[in-house]
Amino acid sequence: MNVLVINCGSSSLKYQLIDSYTEKVLAKGLCERIGIDGSMLTHQPEGKDKIVTQTDMPNHTVAVELVIKSLTDRENGVIDSLEEIGAVGHRVVHGGESFAESVVINDEVMKAIEDCNDLAPLHNPANLIGIRACQELMPDVPMVAVFDTAFHQTMPKKAYYYGLPHEYYEKYKVRRYGFHGTSHSYVSKRVAEILGKDYGSLKTIVCHLGNGASISAVMNGKCVDTSMGLTPLEGLIMGTRSGDLDPAILGYIAGKENLTLDEVTNILNKKSGVLGLSGVSSDFRDLEAAANDGNQLAIDTLDTYYYRVAKYIGAYAATMNGVDVIAFTAGVGENNITGREQVVSYLGYLGADVVPEKNNVRGKEQVISSDQAKVKVMVVPTNEELAIARETVRLV
């Protein structure tokens, strides 16, 4: 069966068409600037060059229409007709406490996703728009919602409660949820497969280090803690997000700079992280280049970033009473060789190490620790689209 995987943002729509039998990507692409002047579609059929089309996309329905047109195009298409799409898998960011698993979408599910809009005001409404656009054009095709938060719903209360008056949890569901769940689930399962171990009896710490970054502790096949919270702002220092800080800083900066709380939150989301601290870039390639040129603030920024990652690993090793595997994934985790070395350099006491020759790898599954290391350290590239396609097939 061919599964269309859709990841819809407020003005963008990413897609992949995956053959679920071979698990090969038949085509992938991106619609950008939907509803804004200058919209364009980048379509890439497997093994062929990208085709970039500048065309009007006033809304997401038009974008999905164009995606279907590209997929069925005579010259650059990969299927003959819409009938060859067996199911659609949608990435949905926030499932609140309603969804601990992926679900087949129906009216009730749509309502429950809408009820989570307050928890992810930038993402969930966009995800719903993408689902509705697909339903309009493919009314008979089954659709599945795969939630970023679902994998983390197994966290115990002690990991998801904040030290806040309990009424805020009762009234507004203020608690820790965690994100990147599809990636943490995929990578932790893949670790067990690669090592030939039982997923149900491993303690794994997954470091998803991309532009957004989060860590999870997976014990006996269940997520027991993760670094992101009510929103994806908590936890590690990220590309542009601050991660953990003293909550009093919000009011302090607002007062000093004469800003509203919304404006400060925007700074914490978009102008902080390694970008804000270094003043160089949110991209680790730029930061490494600046550090190599002797830019002291870039060096300090990278140090601060790796230190925070190591601190979380130490915390999760403590709460799980040990760790068998530490896995690095996502853009930085998969590609940043010195970064992995720096993080693991803090973890000798755990029995983790890195062998430079094995660590000299980018975007490839590999054990990078020595044979005698007590804790295996691995690179495991994530594949959220494939995980969404698998979930979709499982449910339909």
| Residue 237 CA, distance from chain mean position | 15
Q: Which of 209, 212, 208 is nearest to 190 (CA)?
A: 208
Distant-in-sequence, close-in-space partners of 182: CB < 8 Å, separation ≥ 6: 91, 146, 148, 151, 384, 387, 388, 391
Residue 262 and residue 276: Cα distance in Å, rounded?
18
CB of residue 361 to ligand AMP, shortest distance in Å: 11
- 148, 225, 324, 353: the catalytic one is 148
User: What is the nearest approach in angstroms of ligand AMP to the Cβ of residue 360?
Assistant: 12
61 or 216: CB nearest ligand AMP: 216
Q: Whole-angstrom Cα distance, residue 288 to residue 221?
A: 35
Using DSSP, state whether 335 is helix, strand or coil. Answer: helix
Are the C-beta atoms of residues 137 and 68 closer than 8 Å to each other?
Answer: yes
Minimum gap (Å) between residue 183 Cβ and ligand AMP: 9
Query: Side-chain half-sphere of 139: how many Cα atoms within 13 Å?
Result: 1
* Residue 356 CB burial class (10 angstroms; 0-12, 13-18, ≥19): exposed
Q: Which is nearer to ligand AMP, 111 or 285 (CB)?
A: 285
Is the CB of 145 or the CB of 238 nearer to ligand AMP?
Answer: 238
Which residues form the interface with ligand AMP (CB under 6 A)? Answer: 210-211, 239, 283-285, 330-332, 335-336, 362
Closest CB to ligand AMP: residue number: 331
287-294, long-range: CB within 8 Å, 24+ apart, which pairs? Answer: 288/336, 288/338
Q: Are 180 and 148 in contact (CB under 8 A)?
A: yes
Q: For this structure, is 324 an active site residue?
A: no
- Which has the closest alpha carbon to 273: 310, 244, 231? 244
Pick between residue 45 and residue 232 the one whose CB is nearest to ligand AMP. 232
By C-beta, is 77 or 381 nearer to ligand AMP? Answer: 381
Q: How far is the CB of 233 from ligand AMP (least distance, A)?
A: 16
Shortest CB 302 distance to ligand AMP, Å: 11
Positions marked active-site: 148
